[in-house]
Protein backbone atom coordinates (compact mmCIF):
# COMPACT_ATOMS: atom_id res chain seq x y z
CA UNK A 1 0.00 0.00 0.00
CA UNK A 2 1.31 3.42 -0.96
CA UNK A 3 0.82 6.13 1.65
CA UNK A 4 1.67 9.78 1.86
CA UNK A 5 2.71 11.07 5.28
CA UNK A 6 2.16 14.78 5.71
CA UNK A 7 1.31 17.41 8.28
CA UNK A 8 -2.32 17.72 9.29
CA UNK A 9 -4.09 20.63 7.58
CA UNK A 10 -7.38 22.47 8.11
CA UNK A 11 -9.30 20.50 5.42
CA UNK A 12 -8.49 17.26 7.31
CA UNK A 13 -10.67 18.09 10.29
CA UNK A 14 -13.62 15.77 9.61
CA UNK A 15 -11.40 12.80 8.74
CA UNK A 16 -9.14 13.50 11.72
CA UNK A 17 -12.16 13.62 14.03
CA UNK A 18 -13.19 10.13 12.85
CA UNK A 19 -9.68 8.78 13.56
CA UNK A 20 -9.59 10.62 16.90
CA UNK A 21 -12.94 9.06 17.85
CA UNK A 22 -11.57 5.60 16.97
CA UNK A 23 -8.50 6.27 19.09
CA UNK A 24 -10.58 7.38 22.07
CA UNK A 25 -12.87 4.34 21.66
CA UNK A 26 -9.86 2.01 21.66
CA UNK A 27 -8.72 3.44 24.98
CA UNK A 28 -12.30 3.59 26.31
CA UNK A 29 -11.90 7.33 26.86
CA UNK A 30 -14.32 10.19 26.54
CA UNK A 31 -13.40 13.83 26.17
CA UNK A 32 -15.59 16.92 26.18
CA UNK A 33 -16.22 18.37 22.73
CA UNK A 34 -14.36 21.56 23.66
CA UNK A 35 -11.18 19.54 24.34
CA UNK A 36 -11.41 17.93 20.91
CA UNK A 37 -11.97 21.35 19.31
CA UNK A 38 -9.01 22.84 21.18
CA UNK A 39 -6.79 19.87 20.31
CA UNK A 40 -7.61 20.25 16.63
CA UNK A 41 -7.01 24.01 16.75
CA UNK A 42 -3.59 23.48 18.32
CA UNK A 43 -2.62 20.73 15.87
CA UNK A 44 -3.01 23.00 12.86
CA UNK A 45 -1.64 26.19 14.44
CA UNK A 46 1.91 26.73 13.16
CA UNK A 47 4.59 27.13 15.79
CA UNK A 48 2.76 25.71 18.79
CA UNK A 49 2.48 22.23 20.24
CA UNK A 50 1.14 19.68 19.75
CA UNK A 51 1.95 18.87 16.14
CA UNK A 52 0.42 16.20 13.95
CA UNK A 53 0.96 14.09 10.88
CA UNK A 54 -1.50 11.99 8.94
CA UNK A 55 -1.23 8.99 6.66
CA UNK A 56 -3.14 9.45 3.41
CA UNK A 57 -4.05 6.58 1.08
CA UNK A 58 -3.68 6.69 -2.71
CA UNK A 59 -7.40 7.50 -2.81
CA UNK A 60 -6.88 10.55 -0.59
CA UNK A 61 -8.41 9.03 2.57
CA UNK A 62 -6.84 9.71 5.98
CA UNK A 63 -5.95 6.30 7.37
CA UNK A 64 -3.81 7.23 10.37
CA UNK A 65 -2.68 10.05 12.61
CA UNK A 66 0.05 10.85 15.09
CA UNK A 67 0.42 13.73 17.55
CA UNK A 68 3.67 14.81 19.15
CA UNK A 69 5.16 17.72 21.06
CA UNK A 70 8.48 18.97 22.31
CA UNK A 71 9.51 19.85 25.83
CA UNK A 72 12.68 20.92 27.55
CA UNK A 73 14.56 18.62 29.88
CA UNK A 74 16.89 19.08 32.82
CA UNK A 75 19.03 16.29 31.35
CA UNK A 76 19.91 17.73 27.92
CA UNK A 77 20.56 20.99 26.12
CA UNK A 78 17.97 20.27 23.43
CA UNK A 79 14.34 19.24 23.75
CA UNK A 80 12.76 15.83 24.12
CA UNK A 81 10.02 14.76 21.72
CA UNK A 82 6.95 13.07 23.19
CA UNK A 83 4.87 11.04 20.73
CA UNK A 84 1.51 11.35 22.47
CA UNK A 85 -1.09 9.72 20.24
CA UNK A 86 -0.84 7.23 17.39
CA UNK A 87 -3.79 5.63 15.64
CA UNK A 88 -4.16 3.72 12.39
CA UNK A 89 -7.49 2.66 10.90
CA UNK A 90 -7.96 -1.01 11.85
CA UNK A 91 -8.64 -1.87 8.18
CA UNK A 92 -5.03 -1.08 7.23
CA UNK A 93 -3.08 -2.10 10.32
CA UNK A 94 0.01 -4.04 9.36
CA UNK A 95 0.45 -1.99 6.17
CA UNK A 96 3.36 0.05 7.48
CA UNK A 97 1.30 3.17 8.23
CA UNK A 98 2.09 3.14 11.95
CA UNK A 99 5.80 2.76 11.30
CA UNK A 100 5.73 5.53 8.68
CA UNK A 101 3.95 7.89 11.09
CA UNK A 102 6.47 7.18 13.86
CA UNK A 103 9.36 7.67 11.45
CA UNK A 104 7.88 11.05 10.46
CA UNK A 105 7.96 12.03 14.13
CA UNK A 106 11.57 10.79 14.35
CA UNK A 107 12.47 13.09 11.44
CA UNK A 108 10.70 16.06 13.05
CA UNK A 109 12.52 15.32 16.32
CA UNK A 110 15.85 15.16 14.50
CA UNK A 111 15.10 18.46 12.74
CA UNK A 112 14.33 20.05 16.13
CA UNK A 113 17.52 18.70 17.67
CA UNK A 114 15.64 16.49 20.13
CA UNK A 115 17.93 14.12 21.98
CA UNK A 116 15.12 11.68 22.73
CA UNK A 117 11.80 10.60 21.25
CA UNK A 118 9.58 8.57 23.54
CA UNK A 119 6.00 7.36 23.98
CA UNK A 120 3.81 5.34 26.29
CA UNK A 121 1.42 2.50 25.63
CA UNK A 122 -0.71 0.22 27.73
CA UNK A 123 0.79 -3.14 28.56
CA UNK A 124 -2.09 -5.01 26.90
CA UNK A 125 -1.72 -3.24 23.53
CA UNK A 126 0.05 -6.23 21.97
CA UNK A 127 -0.58 -5.22 18.36
CA UNK A 128 1.14 -1.86 18.79
CA UNK A 129 3.87 -3.32 21.00
CA UNK A 130 4.96 -5.67 18.21
CA UNK A 131 5.74 -2.59 16.13
CA UNK A 132 7.22 -0.63 19.04
CA UNK A 133 9.56 -3.48 19.91
CA UNK A 134 10.98 -3.31 16.35
CA UNK A 135 11.53 0.47 16.20
CA UNK A 136 12.02 1.45 19.83
CA UNK A 137 13.45 0.25 23.11
CA UNK A 138 11.24 -0.51 26.11
CA UNK A 139 12.40 1.24 29.27
CA UNK A 140 12.19 0.08 32.89
CA UNK A 141 10.22 3.15 33.95
CA UNK A 142 6.74 2.90 35.47
CA UNK A 143 4.36 5.82 35.03
CA UNK A 144 2.54 7.28 38.02
CA UNK A 145 -0.29 9.83 38.08
CA UNK A 146 -1.20 12.18 40.87
CA UNK A 147 -3.50 10.55 43.41
Q: How far apart are the first and last CA of the chain?
A: 45
**Model pLDDT, residue 1:** 67
Domain boundaries, the chain: 3-135
Residues in CB range of 98: below 8 A, 6 or more apart: 64, 86, 88, 128, 131
Is residue 55 packed enough to be buried (19+ CB in 10 Å), middle (13-18) or exposed (0-12)? buried
**Model pLDDT, residue 46:** 92
Note down pLDDT in tens along the chain; length 147 residues. Answer: 689 999 999 999 999 999 999 999 999 999 999 999 999 999 999 999 999 999 999 999 999 999 999 999 999 999 999 999 999 999 999 899 999 999 999 999 999 999 999 999 988 889 899 999 999 999 999 889 999
Backbone angles phi, psi at 121, to 5 degrees: -150, 165
3-state secondary structure of 29: coil
Q: What is the pTM of this model?
A: 0.94
Is residue 83 packed enough to be buried (19+ CB in 10 Å), middle (13-18) or exposed (0-12)? buried
* CATH number at 3-135: 3.40.630.30
Amino acid sequence: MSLEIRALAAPDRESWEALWAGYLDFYEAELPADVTRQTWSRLIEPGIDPNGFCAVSEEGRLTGMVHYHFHISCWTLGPYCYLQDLYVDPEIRGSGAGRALIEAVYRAADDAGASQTYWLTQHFNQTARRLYDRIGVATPFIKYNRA
